[in-house]
Amino acid sequence: MPKTHRNIALTLAIAITTASSTVASAASLQQIKDRGVVRIAVANEIPYGYMDLNGKAKGVGPDVAKHIMKQLGIDKVDWSTTNFGSLIPGLQAHRFDMVAAEMAILPQRCQEILFSEPNSSYGEGLLVAKGNPKDIHSFESFIKSGEKVAIMAGADQLEMMQALGVPAGQLVTIANNADAISTVATGRASAYAATSLTASQLADKSDKVEVAANFTDPIINGEPVRSWGGFAFSKDSEDFRNAVNAELVKFKGTPEWKKILEQYGFTDADAKGSMAKTTAQLCAK
């Protein structure tokens, strides 16, 4: 290759590398303000974070996030949806600045991403076929029954089932919540394990399924399972996370915050429960 061509190629390579580095780096709060838009992702999961039929972001995560962005002086939000299992990789690749999916704050996730303080707290539930023909009322039901249970890819119900000793061959992975109704209704799985709110929302969409009545919370390490959901950020977005945290802590002390939770079916106990743990405690488990 002639020297001139080599120089041109080298210049182009440097330019491409520089551009790639810019795209791959996390944006600070000031940089987000300067560009005038923040990119926030949800997993299309009602009531946590989803897009309605008009393309508007809804759910407890987006509604609280909208308030926080306004307080931070960020007027525009670029919302995107992705499968739950793609949220963490998306943050790591800086495809978005923040996740508002009320992702459960878990130690293993804390190794990969940053979390805000908890914005919500919620328990577990099961979606079963109408009439609950398999008479399933708990996660523990699957330990020795041989029945299959569906779990969304990337969801923490997988770790719960593993901790309880449910055989891997009984776990059916689905891509998203939208597949849960058909998976259970057709008998591909005897139940779908999800949070109580998700199971309830899905049951409202079809007369072929229902929420398992008399459900008992799974007991792991001697304690009933409860999850705490928060906003998520890439590991190098500490500046932005801290700014969001400061506004979230202030907002959680207001009636407006509690009203948002109630609007999406969270109980008073859920609201109080969200104050019971800090992110530091949840990450250290």
Per-residue pLDDT tens for 22-64? Answer: 345 788 999 999 999 999 999 999 999 999 999 999 999 999 9
Task: Report the pLDDT averaged over residues 166-190.
Answer: 96
Q: Does the residue 31 lie in any domain?
A: yes
Q: Is residue 13 part of a domain?
A: no
In the numeric block, which tokens belong to residue 39?
């990119």
Q: What percent of the chain has pLDDT over 70?
A: 92
- What's residue 2's pLDDT? 46
Task: Write out the residue range of the structural domain in which residue 151 sits.
Answer: 124-224
pLDDT digit string (tens) for 106-139? 999 999 999 999 999 999 999 999 999 999 999 9
In whole angstroms, what separates CA 283 from the centre of its chain? 16
- Contact predicate 109/50, CB 8 Å: no
pLDDT of 88 over the 90 cut: yes
Residue 20 lies inside a defined structural domain of this protein: no
For the chain, state the CA radius of gyration.
21
**131 and 216 part of one domain:** yes
Residue 179 CB burial class (10 angstroms; 0-12, 13-18, ≥19): middle
Same domain (yes/no): 158, 103:
no
The partner residues of 124 in beta bridges, in order of sequence, read 195
Q: What is the mean pLDDT of the chain?
A: 91
In this structure, are strands 114-115 and 57-58 parallel, antiparallel, or unpaired? unpaired
Q: Number of structural domains, the chain?
A: 2
Do 41 and 98 contact (CB within 8 A), yes or no?
yes
**C-alpha 22, offset from chain centre:** 27
Question: Residue 15 has what pLDDT?
Answer: 43
55 and 66 in a single domain? The answer is yes
Same domain assignment for residues 172 and 36 = no
The residues pairing with 127 across neighbouring beta strands, listed in sequence order, are: 192, 211
**172, 241: one domain:** no
Q: What single DSSP character describes residue 28?
A: P
Last residue in a domain, options 224, 247, 273: 224
- Residue 24: the pLDDT is 59
SS3 278: coil
Cβ neighbors of 69 (< 8 A, separation 6 or more) are 38, 75, 77
Q: Which of 260, 242, 264 is nearest to 252 (CA)?
A: 260
List the structure tokens of 210.
């229902």
Provide the 3-class DSSP secondary structure of residue 195: strand
Q: Is residue 3 part of a domain?
A: no
Check pLDDT > 90 for residue 235.
Answer: yes
The set of residues, in sequence order, having a beta carbon less than 8 Å from that of 200 and lying 6+ positions away, is: 125, 211, 265
Residues linked to residue 220 through DSSP beta bridges, in sequence order: 223
CATH number assigned to the domain comprising residue 40: 3.40.190.10
Same domain, 164 and 217: yes
Residues 177, 40 within the same domain: no
Which of 215, 261, 227 shows the shortest CA–CA distance to 62? 261
- Residue 25 has a pLDDT of 74
pLDDT above 80 (res 8)? no
Residue 8 inside a domain? The answer is no
Domain match, 101 and 240 both: yes
SS3 sequence, 150-186? EEECCCCHHHHHHHHCCCHHHEEEECCHHHHHHHHHC
Residues paired with 194 in a beta bridge: 125
Contact criterion met (CB below 8 Å) for 51 and 79 = yes
Write down the pLDDT at residue 278: 97
Query: Quick check: is 2 in a domain?
Result: no
pLDDT tens per residue, range 198-221? 999 999 999 999 999 989 889 998
Domain closes at, from 224, 239, 258: 224
Are both 263 and 240 inside the same structural domain?
yes
Are residue 115 and residue 130 in the same domain, yes or no? no
pLDDT at 196 over 80: yes
Q: Would you say residue 249 lies in a domain? A: yes
Domain identity same for 40 and 96: yes
pLDDT category at 17 given cuts 50, 70, 90 is: very low
- CA-based nearest residue to 76, from 41, 47, 36: 36
Domain boundary (175, 199, 224) is at 224
**What is the value of pTM for the model shown?**
0.80
pLDDT tens digits, one per residue of 240-271: 999 999 999 999 989 999 999 999 999 888 99
Are 220 and 184 members of one domain? yes
- 210 in a structural domain: yes
**With DSSP H G I counted as helix, E B as strand and the rest as coil, what are the percentages for the chain, rounded to 5?**
45, 20, 35
